[in-house]
Structure 1
Amino acid sequence: MEPDTAPVRFDTKIAVLLRDDLESWQRLNVSAFLVSGIAAANPDIIGEPYADADGTAYLPMFRQPVLVFAGNKNNLLNMHSRALSRGITVSVFTSDLFSTNNDRDNRAAVKSVTGDQLDIVGIGIHAPKNVVDKVLKGARMHP
């Protein structure tokens, strides 16, 4: 049986939008947290486990690419609003979460502020491609 070499196409898109004024360590931390929420809410987008030629097993990962974008504070607020207006549940990371160190305190920090007052530094989104493109219109790929 010949291996399947047809291009793989996806109906959905996974994207992370980060505020462009974050430090490098913050970008990495925020990205990891945001995609963990996407994975938890969408187990069907996780691929099969990996194994090397020696038989060592590795954890499965997303079965499709994760695109990372950057924007300023206003971009994030607008894109957050666009996503919510389309009924998309997003993962969110606020500046307050840099001073907490556990899930309970993270959730409490987000809950303590109304949605329009969140100091959003990153959002994660998984939705049909055309919807993600509309939500992220105006964002640029992360450098």
Structure 2
Amino acid sequence: MFDTKVAIVVRNDLATWQRLNVVAFLSTGIAAAAPEVMGEPYVDGAGRQYGNLFGQPMMIFEADLAGLQKAHRVGLERELTLSPYVFAMFSTGHDAANRAVFLAEDPANLNLVGLALRGPKKAVDKAIKGLALHG
């Protein structure tokens, strides 16, 4: 039904609150980069309007640091839309600080704790090959 796929990969050694936080932030990255993934607003039986959600499923995977770095590398090679979250971002309190700590990372060795990927199904599947669904 969809030509594209959205996958979020979260590091498997994080506390539960950290995993949830990372997934929430990364999903907003995909929504901002690809607003066409957003569905229409929800309306209840009384006519009250609610916010809209993604119009296609997102799959959540888990990986160790090496698995995240591989998915990142393949995602770059396949020119996917990527939204990264690095460990240092847990110590910041706002977007500008997040961008500053990300910029300070070694781009060849990002300390990723999460990564969102969007693009053609086959390309996303190549990037997440071998990763397990989050359990």
The answer to whether the superposition gives a TM-score over 0.5 is yes
Residue 14 (structure 2) aligned to one of 22, 25, 31: 22
Residue segments in structure 1 that go unaligned for 5+ positions in a row: 1-8
* Structure 1 residue ranges (4+ consecutive) displaced by more than 2 angstroms after TM superposition: none
TM-score calculated relative to the size of structure 1: 0.92
Structure 2: distance between partners of 1:68 and 1:48: 23
Query: Is the 2:81–2:119 contact (alpha carbons within 8 Å) kept by the matching residues of 1?
Result: no
Structure 1 residues 1-143: aligned runs within 5 Å: 9-143=1-135
Identity %: 43
Query: Is the contact made by 2:80 and 2:124 (CA closer than 8 Å) also made in structure 1?
Result: no
Deviation at 1:89, TM superposition (A): 3.1
Contact map agreement 2:4 2:118 (CA 8 A) in 1 = yes
CA distance in 2, matches of 1:129, 1:21: 27
Q: State how far apart, in whole Å, the 2-side matches of 1:60 and 1:105 are.
A: 28
Alpha-carbon distance between aligned partners in 2 of 1:45 and 1:117, rounded to the nearest angstrom: 30
SS at match of 1:106: helix
Question: What is the CA deviation profile of residues 37-73 of structure 1, one whole-angstrom value per residue up to 9, with x for unaligned ones?
Answer: 1000101110111011011110111101110000111
User: Superposition RMSD on alpha carbons, in Å?
Assistant: 0.8
Q: Provide the rounded CA distance (Å) in 2 between the counterparts of 1:87 and 1:127.
A: 8
- SS at structure 2 position matched to 1:93: strand
Q: Which amino acid aligns with 1:132?
A: V
Report the 3-state secondary structure (helix = DSSP H, G, I; strand = E; otherwise coil) of the residue aligned with 2:66. helix
TM score, norm. by length of structure 2: 0.97
Unpaired segments of 5 or more residues in structure 2?
none
TM-fit CA distance, 1:117: 2.8
| Distance (Å, rounded) in 1 between the aligned partners of 2:62 and 2:53 | 23
